[in-house]
Amino acid sequence: LFIVINNFISLQPIDNSCQYFPDKSEILCRRSQRTMFFNLTHFPRVRKFTATNSKIREIPWFTFLEYSQLIILDIRSNEIEFLYKESFYGLKNLKEIYLTSNRIKVLDDKLFYEISNLEDLNLSFNQIESIEPGLFFTIKKLRTLVLSGNRLNMTKDNVFIEMSNIERLRININLIENMEDRSFSGLFNLRELILSNNKIKLINKGLFSTLENIEILDLSTNSIEIIEKNLFVLNKKPVSYTHLT
């Protein structure tokens, strides 16, 4: 066995479920039994924090107040039911949040006020029933939003009105039946819209009219009965890929 001339980086233990890199820039926790969030007091320079497949139920107020350098927060596959409006307070440089596979039902309308530099937000496979206008007002740099696998039953007017930079929006595997006329207003740079596996029956002619750069539109596995003429010709530019089967 020859292992000379290598650059080994060993992970240091925090407790039975957590480890960190020597420079303390990344913390990795898996299958922890703790229900409260981790104490990061000794890791002010951490840039990536991962706590997956654990039993975390809440993120207390001001948990990340001293962690302005954090860029990636991955807390998927936990038992989180509610997020306080101050849960992400202080994360001014955060670019990615993964909250997939939790039990979140309600999103406070001020939840994202402190994370204006966010680019990727994944809230898939929770229990969210409604997205209200204004929720995403402060995260104007967002490029990817994933809401798949929730309990949304409709899309409301102007929910995405300030999100002109978003490129990928996935709302598939929900219970959506109705989409209001201005549901996608403001999404001028949207390239991919996934609405498959819902209960959509009718699509109003002007629903996609503001999607100037759309390339992929997936409406498969719905209950659509009527397709109006020229529905998928947006601003004289046909959609490059439309999936209806």
Cβ atoms 230, 238 nearer than 8 A? no
pLDDT tens, residue by residue, 135-145: 998 999 999 99
Please tell me the distance from the alpha carbon of residue 120 to that of residue 133, in angstroms, as a whole number.
19
**Is the predicted pLDDT of residue 243 greater than 70, yes or no?**
no
Confidence of residue 20 (pLDDT cuts 50, 70, 90): confident
DSSP assigned state of 94: -
* pLDDT for the residue numbered 1: 36
pLDDT tens, residue by residue, 33-75: 766 666 666 677 889 999 899 888 988 888 888 888 999 999 9
The angle subtended at Cα 180 by Cα 177 and Cα 184, nearest 5°, is 110
**Is the predicted pLDDT of residue 199 greater than 70, yes or no?**
yes
Coil vs helix vs strand at 27: strand
Model pTM? 0.87
Two structure tokens written together for 77: 């596959």
Cβ atoms 134, 110 nearer than 8 A? no
Two structure tokens written together for 171: 């709302």
Please tell me the distance from the alpha carbon of residue 218 to that of residue 242, in angstroms, as a whole number.
6
pLDDT tens, residue by residue, 73-124: 999 999 999 899 999 998 999 999 999 999 999 999 899 988 999 999 999 9
Please tell me the distance from the alpha carbon of residue 104 to that of residue 127, in angstroms, as a whole number.
5
Length of the chain: 245
116 CA to centre of own chain: 14
